[in-house]
Amino acid sequence: MKQALASTARGLRTFGSDVADGFFEITHNGFALIGLTIVFAALALVARPDLRESGEAQLMGWLQSRKPVVPAPEPSDLQPNAIERTTAASPGDLPKQQAAVAYWLSKKYRVAAEPLSVLVAEAYDIGKRTKLDPTLILAIMAVESSFNPFAQSSVGAQGLMQVMTRVHGEKYESAGGTLTAFDPVTNMRVGVKVLQECISRAGSVAGGLRYYVGAANLEDDGGYAAKVLAEHERLRQVAQGKAPSTTSTRLPGLPVAERSKSSEPGQKVAMLEGDS
């Protein structure tokens, strides 16, 4: 009986050993076969780029089919990219000097500080590139339109800086045409170009303002230059962290009589051609 059990045990051990050896042999050969398959497949893809491209296309198609279906958004009158077309920014994101100017203009002209922040930042950026005082640029906008980007005078001066579109239409071409005169930033950039030409032609800021308002050949500009320069001085004080003066400031280069006058802006604005 003991011999039979021992014989059975030896048989089971032999059977188990044979099974293990066979399994190892099968898996070893299987892995070798897989490796060879991968090598041959790689060689085939290198030699046949069309096969690789076809395989990639099929793989991408399979991956795309596995992506979950995202339901389409509900129809809306407000486009998702509306924020990209919004000409506004937080005044808190501006440097301290610019933020002070934006808040002061907002309070004085009753315009929201957010759109003003974009204009103030743009004025400082343009001023840095053109060597013009940004507060002068802002002063012209204040006097010309009180920061109304849709303002238009009886003679056709348009936008924030009341540029004569019919005279300076070519300056709007790179922006997309004359309709961009009512885009605040575009109007400012064109207005600054006109202002530069005016100052260069006159040889001074005060003289350039007379050209800008179309009064270069007139004895009196109606107090326009004085009004702009006075606002310019107030804005400079605000930018320096000072309380703006409420008294009249003596402005160099202008007759005393002109400093005391006021005028209605936008009558002949930014005209270099055919000034009368």
**What pLDDT score does 15 carry?**
56
Distance from C-alpha of 216 to C-alpha of 151, rounded to nearest angstrom: 23
- The pTM for the full model equals 0.65
Weakest mean pLDDT among 72-81, 99-108, 223-232, 254-263: 254-263
Q: Which residue has 């398959």 as its token pair? A: 37
b (16+ CB within 10 A) / e for 180-201: bbbbbbbbbbbbbbbbebbbee
pLDDT at 264: 45
Closest Cα to residue 128, out of 192, 81, 178, 75? 192
Tell me the two tokens of residue 114: 């957010």
pLDDT of residue 216: 86
Region 117-138: mean pLDDT is 96
Which percentage of the chain shows pLDDT scores above 90?
Answer: 54
Tell me the average pLDDT of the chain.
80
> Check: CATH 3.75.10.10 for 87-259?
no
- In the numeric block, the tokens 């301290």 are attached to 96
pLDDT at 276 over 80: no
Mean pLDDT of the region 242-270: 50
Name the residue ranges covered by the structural domains of the chain.
2-66, 87-259
Q: Which two tokens stand for residue 149?
A: 């980007």
Tell whether the torsion through CA atoms of 154, 156, 158 and 163 is positive or negative: negative
Interhelix angle 113-130/184-202, nearest 10 degrees: 40
Question: Distance (Å, rounded) from C-alpha 189 to C-alpha 163?
Answer: 10
First to last CA, the chain: 135
CA distances to 8, 22, 24, 25 from 14, rounded to whole Å, are: 10, 12, 15, 16
Per-residue model confidence (pLDDT) at position 160: 96
Specify the range with the lowest mean pLDDT, choosing from 50-64, 70-84, 226-240.
70-84
173, 195 Cβ separation under 8 angstroms: no
Confidence of residue 61 (pLDDT cuts 50, 70, 90): confident
- Higher local confidence (pLDDT), 197 or 24: 197
As a whole number, mean pLDDT of residues 174-194 equals 95
- Which tops the pLDDT comparison, 9 or 181? 181
Cα–Cα distance measured from residue 181 to residue 162, given in angstroms and rounded to the nearest whole number: 9
Q: What is the mean pLDDT of residues 124-144?
A: 97
pLDDT given at position 135:
97
Q: What is the pLDDT of residues 148-182, one digit of tens each?
A: 999 999 999 999 999 999 999 999 999 999 999 99
How far apart are alpha carbons 155 and 162 in whole angstroms? 10
For residues 83-112, give the mean pLDDT: 92
Tell me, what's the pLDDT at 219?
87
**What are 266's two structure tokens?**
């936008």
**Cα distance between residue 179 and residue 174, in whole Å:** 12
For the cut 70, the answer to whether the pLDDT of residue 18 exceeds it is no
Q: What's the pLDDT score for residue 68?
A: 74
pLDDT at residue 249 greater than cutoff 60: no
